[in-house]
Amino acid sequence: MNDSTVSRRDLFRLIAAASATGALVTTPGAAAPPPLTRNFKNVLSDPDFSNPAAPWDKPLDEAELATLAVLVDLILPADDLSPAASAIGVHDFLNEWAGAPYPENRADCEILRGGLAWLNTHSFKLHGKSFTGLDATQQTAILDSICDPAKTAPELATGSRFFTKLRMLTLGGYYSHSSTWKSLGYVGNVAIAGPYPGVPAEVIKILGLEGEN
């Protein structure tokens, strides 16, 4: 690609100017359209991809983020194929998610903040320490007690609802990061030399589409 000092925005302006000029040439006597005076930029629907940052505040404080960093690693630790969840910033993703100005996200923010408070209270009740102050065995035992709603004791129902939501959001944030795709067997867009070979026979068999055209 040749280097150019013309920005994308300048290019759009040139195209618009050319279009307006063409209209004047082909329609004698027609007035040029008035210039746009309204700013159509919307920070929510028109993100600036050259500066990828959430246009809203992130509500979680340092202590809450520290607890989330421990939690997401307990849910998705590092393995031979993928990094630990905190290593790719899943706890930061949760903070950004919780701050988004949409009803679903606001509700999730309440669940996350309330759940983190519950978790620390429960940890103090059991061991006299906050969740981040516990050893890995104690932390895992607490999560084991709330990870399955069908088996969770009634008095731990709040913790179970929190962990169910946290686990879902953690998985969503984790597997949307390109460094985790290898563990899913996803290779992305890869160029194929020659003609398209079609869907592999084993995939067609799994889908039960043998003999379909």
Per DSSP, the residues of 143-163 read: HHHHS-TTTS-GGGHHHHHHH
**Tokens at 23, concatenated:** 């209209």
Reply yes or no on whether the pLDDT at 7 is more than 90.
Answer: no
CA distance 65 to 95: 8
Q: What is the pLDDT of residue 8?
A: 53
Q: If you average pLDDT over residues 95-109, what whole number do you get? A: 94
Domain locations in the chain as residue ranges: 62-184
Q: If you average pLDDT over residues 128-138, what whole number do you get? A: 97
- Lowest-confidence pick of 28-37, 88-97, 100-109: 28-37
pLDDT tens for 172-198 read 999 988 888 887 877 777 777 888 888
Q: What is the pLDDT of residue 137?
A: 97
- Cα–Cα distances in Å, from 93 out to 154, 170, 177? 31, 9, 10
Q: What is the pLDDT of residue 78?
A: 93
pTM of the entire predicted model: 0.68
Reply yes or no on whether the pLDDT at 23 is more than 80.
Answer: no
Reply yes or no on whether the pLDDT at 15 is more than 50.
Answer: yes
Reply yes or no on whether the pLDDT at 26 is more than 60.
Answer: no
Reply yes or no on whether the pLDDT at 106 is more than 90.
Answer: yes
Q: CB–CB of 173/93 below 8 Å? A: yes
CA distance 111 to 91: 15
Q: What is the pLDDT of residue 21?
A: 45
Helix residue ranges per DSSP H, the chain: 8-26, 62-75, 90-99, 103-127, 136-146, 157-175, 181-184, 201-206
- Lowest-confidence pick of 17-21, 190-194, 203-207: 17-21
Q: If you average pLDDT over residues 2-11, what whole number do you get? A: 52
Q: What is the pLDDT of residue 20?
A: 46
> 52: burial class by Cβ within 10 Å (0-12, 13-18, 19+)?
exposed
CA distance 104 to 110: 10
Q: What is the pLDDT of residue 69?
A: 98
Q: What is the pLDDT of residue 37?
A: 54
Reply yes or no on whether the pLDDT at 25 is more than 50.
Answer: no
CA distance 171 to 183: 13
